[in-house]
Structure 1
Amino acid sequence: MTAKRILVVDNEAKMRRILELSLRSLGHEVEQAGDGQEALAMLDTGSFDLVLTDLRMPRLDGIGLLRALREADNDIPVIVMTAYGTIETAVAAMKIGAADYIIRPFEMETIEMAVSRALTMQVVQRENRFLKEEMSRGWGDFVGTSKPMQDLYDLLKQVAPTRSSVFIVGETGTGKELVARALHVASGRSGLFVPINCAAIPAELLESELFGHVKGAFTGALRDRVGKCELASGGTLFLDEITEMPIGLQAKLLRVLQEGVIEKVGGNAVTPVDLRVVAATNRDPQQSVDAGLLRRDLYFRLNVVRVDVPLLRDRHGDIPLLVEYFVHKYSVELSRTPPRISSDAMAILEGYAWPGNVRELENLIERAMVLCRGDLITVAHLPVGLGPLPAVAKEPGADPKPASRAPDSLALRPHVDELERHLIHEALLQAGGNKAAAARLLKISERALWYKIKRYGLT
């Protein structure tokens, strides 16, 4: 286990020294406090991974120290030691959140085992919390049997078992993160799959998100934070929209990949990490390098194997399968019987160009499921102007004008709203969810965009 920083709290100097020597022999860094009050002050200004405290002490005892930490939402593991143990005090300590409860006198092996157990449990609990957050998002599955998808599957099977870095390239909505997750699952690596969207996090916070920070590193850093690189150690770190990462931070990431260590923001200690990095972008990587958005040396480091994700318009044969998949998915969420799709509606879906790719199709099916009250999704449940639209006869030299299907109503406002909603949705897709960038595409203020997003339920 990686060396940790442990705080020993006891009013007996001799006992503190014994515990310090024992824990240092295991490779840990150890600090001492004479009572709970002193310990709180040290925890408030320093970074520790575990507290080993006596129960009875002046000013603030072990239970008081434990309670103060939990009330401050500090989940640091705390092991309580006492020569005056009773069942009642043990139960009280465990209820408040003690990691262990040890009765004196004890063998040093008992302490060492308790420390190892508490530190291991801390890692497990941290990973479990992360996994619950990830699972709550829903991961989905690959859907498709077309030739482009078969080629993708074959490439992933070859690349996944290796440790090579992978660069995934594809338009917004094609499923780049799904490809990255599949690589991780098939890799056999025992650690977590940890995604981070470089475009969705402000530049000033991205370094802390990646590498973590120590308490007091900057305004708002109220406690130590574990970064995504450390979380992903032993697993896979997925860097989505890597070209949006600031150039200065790209240099620090390159060091992590080359040396296998991280340094938290505000800290000076290095932590070894074992990472497989998968990066992704919706841009042309070489153009990003030429434009100065992506460091050339980092690009070479990441682009060991390139994976191009097929566009939905290049695999129209998969659309019926995807429609069926999303209909069943949202039927479960809406607790209803899955409706059928009319042949006219399916023809329109199969003929549309899908600039937003699979994500756009999923959003459209969710919308249709909400609007459809019966057991059949029809053309009426699809957005106006979706297509495919046949061309009408025209005079020589005239601009081609697509013919639209007749709307249910000629009232202008609903159709204007539908078009505005569609354009905002498309801008958000092209901007990767970045509201400021989407507002620039739409040539409106960011404040106006936020208002329209709320109005049309596009959150």
Structure 2
Amino acid sequence: MSERVSPAFGILLVDDEPAWLRSLAMTLERSAGLTHLITCDDPRRVLEILDGDDVGVVLLDLTMPHLSGEELLALIAADHPGVSVIVVSGMNQIETAVRCVKLGAFDYHVKTDEEDRLVAGVLRAVRMQELQRENLEMSSRLLAGAPQHPEAFSGIVTSDPTMRTLFSYIEAVARSPQPLLITGESGVGKELIARATHQLSGCRGALVAVNVAGVDDPVFADTLFGHVRGAFTGAEQPRRGVVEEAADGTLFLDEIGDLSIASQVKLLRFLQDGEYFPLGSDRPKRVKARVIVATHQDLTAKEKAGLFRRDLYYRLRTHRVRVPPLRERKGDVPLLLEHFLDEAARSLGKKKPTAPRQLAQLLAAHDFPGNVRELKAMVFDAVSVHKERVLSMDSFLDAIGLRRGAPAAAPAGEGEGEKNPFAGLERLPGFDESLELLIQEAMSRAGGNQTLAARLLGISQPALSKRLKSYRRG
């Protein structure tokens, strides 16, 4: 794969002085990592270049032979209104600057200004172009309704419309250099989304994943940025950090909500400047890597509580997706069940068992606090102990806590978030009344299947049938 240039669109530098063009190109590449540069020393060729190449930003000198910068600016605004034009003049004249802005210039700089100011202005224009293009891409993807590269999401088993919309969004932002924040409960498959994003990104480097939960600041800095020889006691050899390993690729930081404030500062500096210092070194390194972060925590609440830096939070949430929990996409349960039965059978060297017809109904009634990961564990456990052609439901009932002899639930007050179902009632329901309500709930959860409802209640199917007939007669 060819080396990826930055940004995805071209930056056209126009000046009749070749020496200035070379100097400006070197400055933008060295200071900002911008490599997709096109130079032109004849203003008469500019419109031809814009017609033939994908150019997003133009840096335009004002004083040039054959065609002045102001004349060219007006032509660009008329024929290519989506291009951001930055005027770079040798004169510091307010009237000229105002006139250029009225003609459609994005910004105005003087050649004698500090180099950093011009670089910052170019980066602002690049960022604006990227946002505009990403918005257009997202609109077209979402209107299309289906991902254009479904193979990138082949590892995610789903038919849920919300997940399909999420896939379209990921396709739209995959090539963006800005960070992506993935939120969702534990076990929903956030890393699978990160891997799909990397696959669609066009990055030629690798995806490097790091779980930062419980990592203290020195270990975090060493893990991310590495160290030089002699940086600390025992550092006998230099060590590359994961940032360098992810060069031209993707750096995936999982459980970012657990990062300490000190480590957040280091990460923010890297995201802002693209530079970092290995431990023990005073020479900065520059690496381009797409950053994807994930967390099961509420970063908005953590930021308001002062546990997560606001500047880092807003830097990370430029693009963000929430992966819905399994209880919000119950239609995926049968698909996932079949998928994990196949996977478990292959992994354990067994023939794939047949799932009982009632199993999908039983699982659909479960909330799955552990999400897809919990379902996978259930299936692997059941397949590992099964011996007959039809898969036993016993291990699933044990896991959900519905089989006779299963461990009793903790007494009220011992479990977290437990509620008293009788709180607020003026009178307790009678035994017969409670039993009828319980049977109605079991039948509702079982989708009207008496065999499954009987299993949920821990009684025989004939006993349940007898009860139902008595209620109908009554």
TM-score, normalisation: structure 1: 0.54
> Which residue matches 1:254?
268
Q: Does 1:281 align with 2:312?
A: no
> Which residue matches 1:370?
384
Are the aligned partners of 2:217 and 2:262 in contact in 1 as well (CA < 8 Å)? no
- The Cα shift of 1:202 comes to 4.3
> Which residue matches 2:29?
none
Letter in 2 for 1:406: G
- Per-residue CA distance 1:325-370 (angstroms, 9 max, x = gap): 1111121111111111112222111211000111111111111111
2:306 to 292, 299, 305: 292
- The Cα shift of 1:204 comes to 3.7
- Per-residue CA distance 1:19-67 (angstroms, 9 max, x = gap): xxxxxxxxxxxxxxxxxxxxxxxxxxxxxxxxxxxxxxxxxxxxxxxxx
Following the alignment from structure 1 to structure 2, what is the Cα–Cα distance between the partners of residues 254 and 334? Answer: 45
- Per-residue CA distance 1:73-118 (angstroms, 9 max, x = gap): xxxxxxxxxxxxxxxxxxxxxxxxxxxxxxxxxxxxxxxxxxxxxx
Are the aligned partners of 1:352 and 1:387 in contact in 2 as well (CA < 8 Å)? no
- Per-residue CA distance 1:219-250 (angstroms, 9 max, x = gap): 44342211111111101111111121111111
- The Cα shift of 1:160 comes to 1.0
1:194 to 208, 215, 226: 208
> Which residue matches 1:165?
179
> Which residue matches 1:221?
235
Are the aligned partners of 2:246 and 2:289 in contact in 1 as well (CA < 8 Å)? yes
Q: Does 1:397 align with 2:411?
A: no
Q: Does 1:179 align with 2:198?
A: no
> Which residue matches 1:318?
332
> Which residue matches 1:381?
395
Following the alignment from structure 1 to structure 2, what is the Cα–Cα distance between the partners of residues 204 and 224? Answer: 16
What is the SS of the residue equivalent to 1:237? Answer: strand
Letter in 1 for 2:458: A
> Which residue matches 1:242?
256
Are the aligned partners of 2:206 and 2:245 in contact in 1 as well (CA < 8 Å)? yes
Following the alignment from structure 2 to structure 1, what is the Cα–Cα distance between the partners of residues 267 and 216? Answer: 17
1:406 to 453, 458, 464: 458
Following the alignment from structure 1 to structure 2, what is the Cα–Cα distance between the partners of residues 171 and 280? Answer: 10
- Per-residue CA distance 1:390-436 (angstroms, 9 max, x = gap): xxxx995359797854399xxxxxxxxxxxxxxxxxxxxxxxxxxxx
Higher alpha-carbon Rg: 2
> Which residue matches 1:209?
223
- Per-residue CA distance 1:242-299 (angstroms, 9 max, x = gap): 1211111111111111111121112222211002111111111110111222111011
Alignment of 1:65-76 (within 5 A): none
Q: 1:271 to 1:327 in 2, by over 3 A?
A: same
Following the alignment from structure 2 to structure 1, what is the Cα–Cα distance between the partners of residues 303 and 182? Answer: 15
> Which residue matches 1:265?
279
> Which residue matches 1:342?
356
What is the SS of the residue equivalent to 2:208? Answer: strand
What is the SS of the residue equivalent to 2:276? Answer: strand
> Which residue matches 1:6?
none
What is the SS of the residue equivalent to 1:341? Answer: coil
Unaligned runs of 5+ in 2: 4-152, 404-421, 443-455, 461-474
What is the SS of the residue equivalent to 1:355? Answer: coil
Alignment of 1:43-192 (within 5 A): 141-192=155-206
The size of the alignment, in residue pairs, is 268
Unaligned runs of 5+ in 1: 2-138, 409-459
- Per-residue CA distance 1:128-185 (angstroms, 9 max, x = gap): xxxxxxxxxxx98111011121111111111112222111110111111111111110
Percent identity of paired positions between Structure 1 and Structure 2:
37
2:344 to 330, 333, 338: 330
Letter in 2 for 1:141: G
What is the SS of the residue equivalent to 2:398? Answer: coil
Letter in 2 for 1:313: R
What is the SS of the residue equivalent to 1:210? Answer: helix
What is the SS of the residue equivalent to 1:173? Answer: coil
> Which residue matches 2:322?
308
Following the alignment from structure 2 to structure 1, what is the Cα–Cα distance between the partners of residues 285 and 178? Answer: 22
> Which residue matches 2:122?
none
Following the alignment from structure 1 to structure 2, what is the Cα–Cα distance between the partners of residues 252 and 398? Answer: 60
Are the aligned partners of 2:215 and 2:259 in contact in 1 as well (CA < 8 Å)? no
What is the SS of the residue equivalent to 1:306? Answer: strand
What is the SS of the residue equivalent to 2:400? Answer: coil
What is the SS of the residue equivalent to 1:224? Answer: coil
- The Cα shift of 1:323 comes to 1.1
- Per-residue CA distance 1:2-26 (angstroms, 9 max, x = gap): xxxxxxxxxxxxxxxxxxxxxxxxx
Q: 1:260 to 1:378 in 2, by over 3 A?
A: same
Q: 1:203 to 1:338 in 2, by over 3 A?
A: farther
Are the aligned partners of 1:351 and 1:388 in contact in 2 as well (CA < 8 Å)? no
Following the alignment from structure 1 to structure 2, what is the Cα–Cα distance between the partners of residues 407 and 383? Answer: 14
What is the SS of the residue equivalent to 1:377? Answer: coil
> Which residue matches 2:53?
none
Following the alignment from structure 1 to structure 2, what is the Cα–Cα distance between the partners of residues 345 and 205? Answer: 46
Q: 1:371 to 1:201 in 2, by over 3 A?
A: farther
Q: 1:385 to 1:182 in 2, by over 3 A?
A: closer
Alignment of 1:419-434 (within 5 A): none
Are the aligned partners of 2:208 and 2:246 in contact in 1 as well (CA < 8 Å)? yes
What is the SS of the residue equivalent to 2:175? Answer: coil
Following the alignment from structure 1 to structure 2, what is the Cα–Cα distance between the partners of residues 219 and 147? Answer: 54
Following the alignment from structure 1 to structure 2, what is the Cα–Cα distance between the partners of residues 318 and 226? Answer: 42
What is the SS of the residue equivalent to 1:382? Answer: helix
- The Cα shift of 1:200 comes to 4.8
- The Cα shift of 1:378 comes to 2.3
Q: 1:299 to 1:206 in 2, by over 3 A?
A: same
Following the alignment from structure 1 to structure 2, what is the Cα–Cα distance between the partners of residues 166 and 387? Answer: 38
Following the alignment from structure 1 to structure 2, what is the Cα–Cα distance between the partners of residues 217 and 374? Answer: 61
Following the alignment from structure 2 to structure 1, what is the Cα–Cα distance between the partners of residues 195 and 248? Answer: 15
Q: 1:383 to 1:293 in 2, by over 3 A?
A: farther
TM-score, normalisation: structure 2: 0.53
Following the alignment from structure 1 to structure 2, what is the Cα–Cα distance between the partners of residues 406 and 218? Answer: 63
